[in-house]
Amino acid sequence: MNKLWDKGFEVDGKIAAFTVGKDRELDLSLACSDILGTMAHITMLESKGLLAPDELAVLLPELRKMYLEASQGRFVIEPDVEDVHSQVELSLTRSLGDLGKKIHTGRSRNDQVAVDLRLFARKRMEAVAGKVKDLFETLQKRSEECKDILMPGYTHLQVAMPSSFGLWFGAYAESLADDLTVMKGAWDVNNRNPLGSAAGYGSSAPLDRKMTARLLGFDDLDYNSVYAQMGRGKVERIIAFACSCVAETVGRLAMDCCLFNSQNFAFITLPDSLTTGSSIMPHKKNPDVFELIRAHCNRLQGLPNDIRLVTGNLPSGYFRDMQLLKELFVPMFDELADVLDITSYAIANMRVKENLMEDSRYKAAFSVEEANRLVGEGIPFRDAYRRVADEIRDGSFRFRGKLHHTHEGSIGNLCNAEIARRMESVLSSFNFSKAAMAEKALLGD
């Protein structure tokens, strides 16, 4: 097997297979990132006299060609090659001879995979943020459409007070804005350059780590070389936690939809085309889409702890345990992206039931409204409360006024525009364009 650490002896086949694990499969997701990191690294090496200008001029076009192959899904890690790092160097050596062997100066696979994961996560976090925005906008649109359609609000799963579908949809939109605030914190932790920390103790080569950070569009460095390696697992866990916050919001929305779609509630319905059936019960139209959304979200919420269990008891320095992080971390983004896409689609096509509050089962939901009406006539609230409670007890209660909610965030004043501004403020703070411009510059676009 082709390995960057080859010393001329053969490793037992069973040991080799076990230690490589799923690296070759997962590393295909990191190929573009690995090539970008290599381009920045060798550009820095040339600036320090560790590569000649004419050597850099030959290496960069070859790497750009390789990046194009990877971005189009044509990059292959050969069966006898250990990982993406080995494949990139092997491919360069095949096409350029000994020049390909120079790219690893001042670098270890440890800081190489660390920077690959930072670049990969940065790209995927941008994609997830875009899909969160899409769901946010869908929820806000439904909130405005349904702002005058009342529904019962619940506490303890008991009928409580009047709500509206506008208020319900809007609540999940605002929750997503907070989730992106958490993700921005994770973005800031991730968007720092670990390259140049080598195996965790730096290098005697005269590296310029600030230059590679600038070339790759990072905001800063992980300065301490030991911490750059200790950050493995921690950074992934912080990002996974941010993703789990989004999953928690979406999973809770899915649970509401499962509940409200049942015949006992019948607040919402899905078009037949968005439901599935039973192999034995002809009448069934099941909200499987929301049940699976809920299950995916539950699994995503468990990932931060799964990551913690891999690295939580490691001492400082690098350990091969960290390899397993990729198995948890890399697939997470696709799973969350799929959940966000299908949730947006289902919410956009959901139908809500009108005139729900005319049902006598929800009459008591207006008890606070009636108590407040009596307060407006000069009756102390505690006396008004007792009078309404007595009427409910003897069956004579009815609400004699009209709903009139005016305060911010109530059914009469949803504040969707204010919430949209908050979301836009959070999104703009990510500064995705800086990273994109740096990558385009490296690729010569």
What does R_g of the chain's alpha carbons equal in angstroms? 28
Q: Residue 269 pairs with which residues in a beta bridge?
A: 351
Q: Which helix (H) or strand (E) holds 67?
A: helix 53-71
- Of all residues in the chain, what percent are helix, strand and coil, respectively (each to 5)? 65, 5, 30
CA distance 129 to 135: 10
CA 363 to chain centre: 41
Q: What is the DSSP letter of 2?
A: B
Which are the catalytic amino acids?
A: 156, 278
Residue type, position 114, single letter: A
List Cβ neighbours of 408 (8 Å cut-off, separation of 6 or more): 415, 418
Count the Cβ atoms, other than its own, within 10 Å of residue 157: 7
- Strand 192-193 vs strand 220-221: parallel, antiparallel, or unpaired? parallel
Question: For 268, phi and psi rounded to 5 degrees?
Answer: -135, 160
| The pair of three-digit structure tokens given for residue 172, joined into one six-digit string | 């999940």
CA 181 to chain centre: 12
Decide: 307 and 121 in contact? Cβ < 8 Å. no
CA angle 63, 67, 70 (to 5 degrees): 135
Residue type, position 365, single letter: A
Decide: 115 and 192 in contact? Cβ < 8 Å. no
